[in-house]
Structure 1
Amino acid sequence: MLLWTALSLMTGAAILAVLWPLRRRDAEAGSAVEADIAVYRDQLAEIERDRASGLIGEAEGDAARAELGRRILRVAGEAEMLRPARSDLHRRAVAVIALVVLPLTAGATYLALGSPELDGQPLAARLEAAPQQSDVAILIRKVETHLEANPQDGRGYEVVAPIYMRLGRVDDAARAWSNAIRYLGPSPQRQTGLGEALLSQSGGVVTAEAKAAFQQALAQDPDDPKASYYLGLAAEQDGKPQEAAAIWSKLAAQSPADAPWQPLLRTALARVGATPPPAAPSAPGPNAADVAAAQSMTPEERNQMVRGMVEGLQQRLSQDGDDIDGWLRLMRAWSVLGETAKAKAAASDARAQFAKDDGALSRIDALSSELGLGS
């Protein structure tokens, strides 16, 4: 309601600004004509007085009256010709445009391009909104505003750096990771993040600065899979395929057989002429007795049996949660049964269980992405 009131007042002010000068000019023009005629009439009266007192002759008085009469007729005729051409027609055309065409055009344009039924969304209110109600750009702007006021907040740089990377703002990501390391100190995650940003900056080339970041990450965490992979890539780019193969083979041997980076390692090892590790074996299937028993059950009985097995797995993991493969099976089982909420809960519990294990977290995130469970 406030918006429409403001628009109405603005439209009225615009129309008044257009029509008021026209009205004033017409009034001024009419006043000038009347003043000229009044002067001529005073002169006629003066001529009559002079003739009556004998100051001018009869012939001179007639000539003067005739001249003034012609002037009065000329002024009146000019005013009459200008009035319909300039006053009425011009004023009416401008009035129609100002009162009808202009508001209709503005209204139609706003209805076509605007959103009159949406509530106002001032920037300040959007910046204060809860994170789940804000889009990524607003969230980034909130962090950037905070960092402008608190330029030594390393945690803020650490939060926004991976978001910059996902958005393709690699220069900002590299700068943010550098600031996070400066104010919080080095860590495997920060060094690897900086290395990846520098790698993207260089178009996929592991520069000396990026290699140094990966080496520092690996020095702090010898099991960091990202740092190991990129150091192998650096060796390959430096023309050292045997060194690259050694790094990648060691990483493949240390990683779980179904780790999400195993396919990448197999491709990389094949590229440098090394023997890739075997693919992860598939989970064993049911034996003949299990198949025969399942075939004799009704669909409801089979579903109940499967649920019982899944619930048993969940109960076991709640008592002993160190089995990462068990958690992955639980997530997949609940997802297959259509229990998306339970699958998400299993993923959340697994992340809590392996909060300090980057390799396990990577496997959980990869499966969550595959099952469409979100992060």
Structure 2
Amino acid sequence: MSESKKMAGGMTPTNRAILIAAALLLVAAIGYAIWRDSADSAPKKSVEATAPPGDQLAALEARTRADPGSAEAWMQLGAARFDMGEFAGAVTAYEKATALSSDSAGLWSALGEARVMASERDPMPAAALAAFDKAIALDAKDPRARYFLAVKKDVGGDHKGAIEDWFALLADTPQGAPWEADLRRTIEQVGAIHKIDVAMRLQNTQARPLTANEMPVAARAIPGPTRADMEAASQLPKGQQDAMIEGMVSGLEAKLKANPKDVDRWVMLMRSRMTLGETAKAAQALKDGIAANPAAAGRLKAQGQLLGVPGA
């Protein structure tokens, strides 16, 4: 069957499974683009980020009306709509953003992703491919565009070519990146479906070390007790050591009780619990953080995966 006929016939169960995996993987890839693009500036909080989902969306829409020339405003609206499953609306917002900031690979690949997810029949619409090609032209390393261009090969029947491209992406993936596990799972699943042996290669292909600019919020942008802090505490007498560590974590928990909408502090609490080896409490922090911030569930889970939190 030709590629065009496969496309016209709609999504097969295999194609749909790959795209569902892509949706999960690329939530994290959005985070990668944000980390890289904002590496030279401190994370910014907004009123919209702490509002309930409906209010958040309304606030972002109001911002685009007040400042229609802001690519950042349209980008944030596109991301919010995408997170809420409003893919067609996300496409519209990202199209506005790319028109205003045409040199951002991350915006183009986000537009391509939204176009893929908005498509009800064609698993890889031409408009999405055009956006991914634009992203790659601007940044040949853009992980989201690379992932989806490999999906196109798989959908078109070039399963080995797709797996080769995913392996190349895996080799370029920063160690511990939240999408690494999903990328490995995609390679494994496509290999199994098409009887391509990938087990040994998966075992031997390791993600590369993170650079400082790529270091995500869980490890770089959010202050709080680090492993170095814990090592310093270990040099104190036992009583002082316990008091210091407990004081750090108790302080975090107190602040979260006062303001459970502070997503950054939930990440800090998860990191602190994992540093202390309290994995069950880290998992509970993830659960509580999501309960308090359902709109940030994707981000919290991605950070939890990066930190190794059980159940993330």
Q: Which has the larger radius of gyration?
A: 1
TM-score normalised over the length of structure 1: 0.42
